[in-house]
Chain A
Amino acid sequence: GESVGLHLPTLSVQEGDNSIINCAYSNSASDYFIWYKQESGKGPQFIIDIRSNMDKRQGQRVTVLLNKTVKHLSLQIAATQPGDSAVYFCAENENLNTGNQFYFGTGTSLTVIP
């Protein structure tokens, strides 16, 4: 299987500060990446995605950066709010025409301090 790992298992930030969550992946053939947010007791929720032909994508308060050279993905959350407290997963996918088999990292727990 693929190896998708996160550099930090936990992250605490002050409300209003920016958060950066990192992710390393090992499959150089992966061509699609997603960040999911999982709140306690709930299923993962899509936050933002990026294709391998891009190196940056922005959403509302979130930015994903992709560095294919070092196989690194990051999620930046601007002006972090208490509602951002959750576990964040990166997932990678290689298009093999056999279904979208996403491989997930172990997750980073983000705690926002009011």
Chain B
Amino acid sequence: NAGVTQTPKFRVLKTGQSMTLLCAQDMNHEYMYWYRQDPGMGLRLIHYSVGEGTTAKGEVPDGYNVSRLKKQNFLLGLESAAPSQTSVYFCASSYAGANTEAFFGQGTRLTVV
């Protein structure tokens, strides 16, 4: 049982390049989330999904797009990477409904130069 798996683990992009981060979960969770973590700022929610085919914006959605074509996968896209998007990205998933904890992946460290 792998839990939440993120690929890749590390990536370096040049400004203006695009890329997609993949998140896969095998716990049959309805909800999935993408967070970014920056020093001294905790985790901030980028986008989230409450089910296959649905996505919504979080706190810091600008410059990112997401898709949830399959229940187990949640993709985070950067259309035109900027240095401000240098961060560690975490995917998480949880069961639907209130009062359920989120399970996190190991993170993707992205550097935009």
Chain A positions near chain B (C-beta within 8 angstroms):
1, 4, 31-32, 34, 36, 41-46, 49, 51, 89, 93, 95, 98-107
22 A-B pairs (CB sep. < 8 Å): A1-B59, A4-B42, A34-B101, A42-B106, A42-B107, A43-B90, A43-B104, A43-B107, A49-B101, A51-B99, A89-B43, A93-B98, A93-B99, A99-B33, A99-B50, A100-B94, A101-B48, A101-B58, A102-B102, A103-B45, A104-B35, A104-B43
- Are B42 and A45 closer than 8 Å at their CB atoms? no
Q: Which residues of A contact B53 (CB under 8 A)?
A: none
How long is the Cα–Cα vector from A1 to B94 in the complex, in angstroms? 21
- Please state if B105 and A43 are interface contacts (CB–CB under 8 Å): yes
Question: Which residues in window 50-74 of B have CB below 8 A to A?
Answer: 50, 56, 58-59
Does the CB pair A100–B98 fall under 8 Å?
yes
A95 touches B98 (CB 8 A): yes
Residues of chain A contacted by B107 (CB below 8 angstroms): 41-43
Within 8 A of A (CB), among B75-113: 90, 92, 94, 98-107
Band of interface residues on B: 20 to 34
B41 adjacent to chain A (CB < 8 Å): yes
Q: How far is the CA of A113 from the CA of B17 in the complex (A)?
A: 44
Q: Report the separation of the CA atoms of residues A101 and B45 in the bound assembly, to the nearest whole angstrom.
A: 8
Q: Which residue of B lies closest to A105 (CB)?
A: B42
Find out whether the CB atom of B56 lies under 8 angstroms from the CB atom of A99: yes
Complexed CA–CA distance, A102 and B98 (Å): 11
Residues of B within 8 A of A34 (CB): 101-102
